[in-house]
Structure 1
Amino acid sequence: MSVPLHAPFRYSKVDVGDVVLNCAVGGEGPPVLLHGYPQTHLIWHHVAPLLATDHTVVLADLRGYGDSGKPAGGPAAYAKRVMALDQVRLMGALGFDAFDVVGHDRGGRVAHRMALDHPAAVTRLAVLDIVPTRHAYATADAAFGQGYYHWFFLTAGGGIPEKLIGGDPEFWIRARMTTRHHGGTAFDPAAMAEYVRCFSDPAAISASCDDYRAAATIDLDHDEASFGRPVECPVLALWGGQSFVGRTYDVLDVWRSYAADLRGEALPADHYLPEEAPERTAAALREFLG
């Protein structure tokens, strides 16, 4: 492939208040919002064209990532509640008051908060290769610390992660991705080059650290306050059979405490389901989204 995405996708920049979001929109039909981390909206470059045959697909870079704005303001600017509101405003600006949401990794955490804070807007929720942030921290042990060491490294103060990652951002991106890939479809070199380009911006490195700092503080407070109020819409959980999530948790059992209407399955992949197992991911999503 070559990037950016081609027809039927069209690119635009949308001002949603205190940040401008980069997004690509393609297809016709019931809208689906896709967004993810640790790369950009291009993590969906295999899956999005398959869904666009019968859905309107909106691929957005989260604030702080890709070619979206990267506001200063510390962790408060990257609380999932703030990032969720960005996406709801984006969809409203595009003419959609209600929509399905699919999110991978950090995007899945934003999507989870969208469903909690905006239940009238989110009609279906799919989360890829995550368990809720609250559960992950509450059950963290030595294996979690080793497998998800970046959750702690990125929250360090004093500019430490920013300085160390900034010394060789390409190494960081490639190392993070290749060590969490297990067979299947290889990463596209052009997409990888885009991930490196975007993450080489010091503002993106700083924003990603603040994203994780928010997850360990502000987001936990919000998640604790929401616990006991499960997501109302249907929820699909997909995870990699070879991923840390798949090897560590009974994923559906965990999500049952957070979702009233739940289904899900493991796919033959590690962490990056949309890139490692795109056909299986697209098929599962199409079945769920209808």
Structure 2
Amino acid sequence: MSVPLPFRYRTVEAGVPIRCAVGGEGPPVLLLHGYPQTHVIWHAVAPLLAERFTVVAADLRGYGDSGKPAPTNGDTEYAKRTMAADQVDVMAELGFDRFAVAGHDRGGRVAHRMALDRPDAVRALAVLDIVPTRHAFACADRDFATGYWHWFFLTAGHGIPERMIGADPEFWIRARMTSRHAGGTPFDPAAMAEYVRCFDEASIAASCADYRAAATIDLEHDEADAGRLLEVPVRALWGERSFVGRNYDVLDVWRGYAADVTGRALPSDHYLPEEAPAEVAAELTRFFG
């Protein structure tokens, strides 16, 4: 693979400096990554999409080479509303006032909030291997607590997860990712090395704040929007071997949050853009086209 992507790179001043790669021509598409990755998770998908679209693959605030402000009480710096606003500002700075967005994992949660807050900017939304945060917490059970235990670990206060992860961040990243991979394309060693490079002390602190925000201020925002359906078309994709695929009726869940929902399972576990890149690219090309 090519690290960084074979695109033009820019750092755009939004709420914080946001690092992004831009390539291709055509209608604009924004790609957002999950935890603990960077925009590089799209390394096999983005070049395929760039044959039809102008692709912007961005690092979320707190991740990759984007700005990583130190969390404060309340973790408002990492509310999904704030993270979504960053990316809308990036797209506007690049000349795109309206665009399609695809988000995997944490990026999907940012993209969901973006579509709620800025339906004028988002023309279509693809969410990869998630159900809405509000639903996940409301329906949490023993399987969720054991399968998604990191959600609770990362929200712990008093510097506990930061200190423990910081003792061996490479082990943490490799363990998290390999435990949620089942067949399909193997992780590219260069991509894994990039995730490790970017997971510094500031990113560890920021990503913990991201998860704490999901359990606090994000839920407040989600409760305020309870019952409000997304108006943009939504394409939900998930791994047939993933926790999401095994534990939820994904389309039924999303139809409680959006008026126009389609989707299907792909042959992977959690990391769809890396495990099933050809299938993801084909799905997004059809949906965004």
| Structure 1 residue runs without a partner (length 5+) | none
Give 1:73 shift.
3.4
Query: What SS class does the counterpart of residue 260 from structure 2 fall into?
Result: strand
Cα separation, 2, equivalents of 1:65 and 1:192: 14
Match of residue 45 from structure 1:
43
Letter aligned with residue 31 of structure 2: L
Letter aligned with residue 250 of structure 1: D
Query: What SS class does the counterpart of residue 231 from structure 1 fall into?
Result: coil
Match of residue 176 from structure 2:
176
Match of residue 111 from structure 1:
111
What number of residue pairs does the alignment pair up? 286
Deviations 1:182-239 (A, max 9, x none): 101000000000000101x100000000000000000000001111111101000000
Deviations 1:63-122 (A, max 9, x none): 000000001233110000000100000000000000001000000000000000000000
- 1:92 equivalent to 2:92? Answer yes
Cα separation, 1, equivalents of 2:255 and 2:280: 21
Q: How does 1:106-255 map to 2 (within 5 A)?
A: 106-199=106-199, 201-255=200-254
Give 1:148 shift.
0.2
Letter aligned with residue 253 of structure 1: D
Letter aligned with residue 63 of structure 2: Y
Match of residue 284 from structure 2:
285
Cα separation, 2, equivalents of 1:253 and 1:35: 24
Cα separation, 2, equivalents of 1:40 and 1:195: 6
Letter aligned with residue 33 of structure 2: G
Give 1:263 shift.
0.2
Cα separation, 2, equivalents of 1:108 and 1:180: 17
Runs of 4 or more off by more than 3 Å in structure 1? Answer: none
Query: What SS class does the counterpart of residue 262 from structure 2 fall into?
Result: strand
Give 1:2 shift.
3.0
Deviations 1:240-273 (A, max 9, x none): 0000000000000000000101100000000000
| Structure 2 residue runs without a partner (length 5+) | none
The answer on whether the counterparts of 2:71 and 2:206 sit within 8 Å (CA) in structure 1 is no
The answer on whether the counterparts of 2:71 and 2:205 sit within 8 Å (CA) in structure 1 is no
Superposition RMSD on alpha carbons, in Å? 0.6
Query: What SS class does the counterpart of residue 259 from structure 1 fall into?
Result: coil
Query: What SS class does the counterpart of residue 223 from structure 2 fall into?
Result: helix
Letter aligned with residue 25 of structure 2: E
Give 1:37 shift.
1.3
Give the fraction of aligned pairs with identical amino acids, expressed as a percent: 73
Cα separation, 2, equivalents of 1:59 and 1:111: 13
Match of residue 36 from structure 1:
33
Cα separation, 2, equivalents of 1:66 and 1:73: 16
